[in-house]
Chains A and B, each alone.
Chain A
């Protein structure tokens, strides 16, 4: 909560004050413009301006329209996630947009991913998803490649960089369904929307990235209707700090803190403030030919909502341990806890909910996996439920590698 209140403005001040005091990048650039005399620089700048003006008046020849030879086609990949599921309860409380929700066969998603560099300055990424609810444009954003001062801007529709799991896709998950905490705090399909994001990679001895974004709130978990931005509070603002520490050649630790403010639908009077902390500890012995790995990950969210003259505070989180025996076998367990308060937005849910699941996965190759998952779900308002799932994932085409 304190983090959410810390607010984007303060972060921007911190980033800006650093930038203002910057006397140039640490890098020794091969050609330093300072080595060229001011007269020469002026002459060069003038000629560049003249050439630019000349180009602007010339008609664009048809040949400059890119036709794209086979070598520069976008990377294109197709990812299918489908699962058979069984639930002991008639109405299982599966909340995630890609979760198996019904007894029998479930289509989690068919994702078509495209990405390509546009020019030396921009790239574009798009995820088109065909799911149980039909087609949706999950993400489509452009990002800069070469801004100075280690800045990066994204614009378009994207998953907010809140916490560890929200910006990722089911393909990168270690469990068949998404944690309750994400569905509860960030929405069934995660926090995403049209907007823009600025991020900065700090020139420190360890990896530290600061991110700030503003997005339309239409798809926020608390707003499911057109929500024009008449003022700043109508937008969803997210800030995040992510840092990574190399503990040894084999151990890495990622620590993140995120904050988000979003409007709540209806009369526009409501505001939701969300704070989150995430931890990801990974052991990957680089010299192990079997490619074994162990990861421990957890996220915890605290939220305060002011709505209909009430202050409602809730919190939830998850933790998982995943062990890759080798390149073919993986197993993992996840424990989750969510606390719901009777509030105007979810009046029927009240009390504590806990869910424990375990999974075993077999990877016939790097591009296919079969995952068996079973769990027990315990809610204070609906009692015990059991579930079992068998999920198949297939990845075809040139799918871009994932971030850490």
Chain B
């Protein structure tokens, strides 16, 4: 700092400031990458974008599949990632409301603001579940007024995302529009086929086995897809930690309804669920929070369905 001070106060040494500016300039004018820069909040969205875009996109994902997407840190490096983005993919329905808005506001990038040319809300066009009716307040827990935002476990929802995303990527990269659109349509078809096959597979399980208890109310779309019934949640209300009364009531439900499985994503606490499973008895099925790096959406969804099928069919 002292040497910098002397730079400022000694006119003859101003070149050092210029040198700094030149260094900065070199970094500013690095060759531009032709690929569309996509930033996805969730790994599932990143996987869909990668599969459609291939080499025509460069995808960054903000949240790890091991991390609860409600509670990411609004880290300054993510501001930088968003500043460089051509396209931001969000789950929407306020899932990212706890950390994404300050990043968008700080990014100085008009494209990725809500309503901007590079803002993609994956909840648009979805068949949403649990849209609250009437007045919403937090005495009901941390509920999402627009509907349950955890649809990115269902390949049918992913197919909707893929088709819409294909059109958006084609608009951003007109020179590869046809390829991008074709990839998107093909991916949507594959995902719908996977969804139908798994629905059929689960339909072969006896009705009494097709019920689950969940930790957070984050699996209604999975249950809808695989025709399962969610009979209880370990959390008394969304985002409210389990209390003894609730846990006792869940144990009672597990026993009386003979529920074989407690299912939850890997980023929710497991101790209470493990204890409940030991007492009931039931099996704890820990689902991945999203596609792992290198995994595509279909592999992730199939893996989740396999884990659940394995737990339910025993």
Q: Which residues of A contact B (CB under 8 A)?
A: 2-3, 5-7, 9-10, 13-14, 17-18, 21-24, 26-30, 117, 120-121, 123, 143-147, 150-152, 201-207, 209, 242, 244, 246, 249, 252, 254, 257, 282, 284, 286-287, 289-291, 326-328, 364-367, 396, 400-404
Contacts of B116 in A (CB 8 A): 120
Return the contact of A3 from the options B1, B28, B107, B117 (Cβ within 8 A).
Answer: B1
Instruction: Decide if B306 is an interface residue (CB 8 Å cutoff).
Output: no
Given contacts A400-B102, A404-B73, contact A21 B17 (CB under 8 A): no
Is there contact, CB below 8 Å, between B79 and A207? yes
> How far, in angstroms, from A3 to B142 measured CA to CA in the complex?
45
Return the contact of A28 from the options B33, B68, B171, B267 (Cβ within 8 A).
Answer: B33
Contacts of B99 in A (CB 8 A): 401
11 A-B residue pairs with Cβ-Cβ distance under 8 Å, sorted by A, are A3-B1, A22-B25, A28-B34, A28-B37, A28-B86, A29-B86, A30-B171, A249-B64, A291-B68, A365-B138, A403-B102
> How far, in angstroms, from A28 to B30 measured CA to CA in the complex?
11
Given contacts A287-B66, A289-B270, A403-B102, contact A26 B77 (CB under 8 A): no
Nearest-neighbor residue (CB-CB) of B66 within chain A: A287
Is there contact, CB below 8 Å, between A244 and B75? yes
What is the distance, in angstroms, from A210's C-beta to the closest C-beta of chain B?
Answer: 11
Is there contact, CB below 8 Å, between A401 and B101? yes
Is there contact, CB below 8 Å, between B30 and A26? yes
> How far, in angstroms, from A249 to B65 measured CA to CA in the complex?
13
> How far, in angstroms, from A396 to B240 measured CA to CA in the complex?
15
Return the contact of B4 from the options A6, A21, A117, A143 (Cβ within 8 A).
Answer: A6
Return the contact of A401 from the options B37, B83, B97 (Cβ within 8 A).
Answer: B97
Is there contact, CB below 8 Å, between A7 and B76? no
- Closest 4 CB pairs between A and B? A146-B110, A17-B21, A244-B76, A287-B66
Given contacts A26-B30, A403-B102, contact A21 B269 (CB under 8 A): no
Is there contact, CB below 8 Å, between A365 and B29? no
Q: Interface code B56-70, partner A: CB below 8 Å = 1, 0 otherwise?
A: 000000001011100
> How far, in angstroms, from A9 to B268 measured CA to CA in the complex?
51
Instruction: Decide if B106 is an interface residue (CB 8 Å cutoff).
Output: yes
Contacts of B22 in A (CB 8 A): 21
Is there contact, CB below 8 Å, between B105 and A30? no
Residue from the set A6, A121, A151, A209 with the largest chain B CB neighbour count within 10 Å: A6
What is the distance, in angstroms, from B42's C-beta to the closest C-beta of chain A?
Answer: 13
Contacts of A282 in B (CB 8 A): 73
Is there contact, CB below 8 Å, between A117 and B113? yes
Contacts of A366 in B (CB 8 A): 98, 142, 239
Is there contact, CB below 8 Å, between B76 and A291? no
What is the distance, in angstroms, from A251's C-beta to the closest C-beta of chain B?
Answer: 11
Nearest-neighbor residue (CB-CB) of A284 within chain B: B73
What is the distance, in angstroms, from A15's C-beta to the closest C-beta of chain B?
Answer: 9
> How far, in angstroms, from A366 to B36 measured CA to CA in the complex?
37
Contacts of A6 in B (CB 8 A): 1, 4-5, 8
- Apart from the given pairs A205-B27, A287-B267, 14 other A-B contacts in the complex at a CB distance below 8 Å: A10-B8, A26-B32, A28-B35, A28-B37, A143-B105, A145-B108, A152-B106, A201-B108, A252-B77, A282-B73, A289-B269, A401-B74, A401-B101, A404-B74
Nearest-neighbor residue (CB-CB) of B267 within chain A: A289
Is there contact, CB below 8 Å, between A400 and B66? no
Contacts of B1 in A (CB 8 A): 2-3, 6, 257
Contacts of B80 in A (CB 8 A): 201, 206-207
Contacts of A117 in B (CB 8 A): 113-114
Is there contact, CB below 8 Å, between A10 and B17? yes
Given contacts A2-B1, A6-B8, A207-B80, contact A291 B28 (CB under 8 A): no
What is the distance, in angstroms, from B245's C-beta to the closest C-beta of chain A?
Answer: 15
Given contacts A365-B240, A402-B74, A404-B74, contact A18 B142 (CB under 8 A): no
Given contacts A7-B8, A396-B138, A404-B73, contact A150 B102 (CB under 8 A): no
Given contacts A120-B113, A402-B102, contact A30 B77 (CB under 8 A): no
Is there contact, CB below 8 Å, between A209 and B76? yes
> How far, in angstroms, from A6 to B142 measured CA to CA in the complex?
48
Return the contact of B84 from the options A3, A26, A151, A402 (Cβ within 8 A).
Answer: A26
> How far, in angstroms, from A207 to B80 measured CA to CA in the complex?
6
Contacts of B121 in A (CB 8 A): none
> How far, in angstroms, from A205 to B98 measured CA to CA in the complex?
26
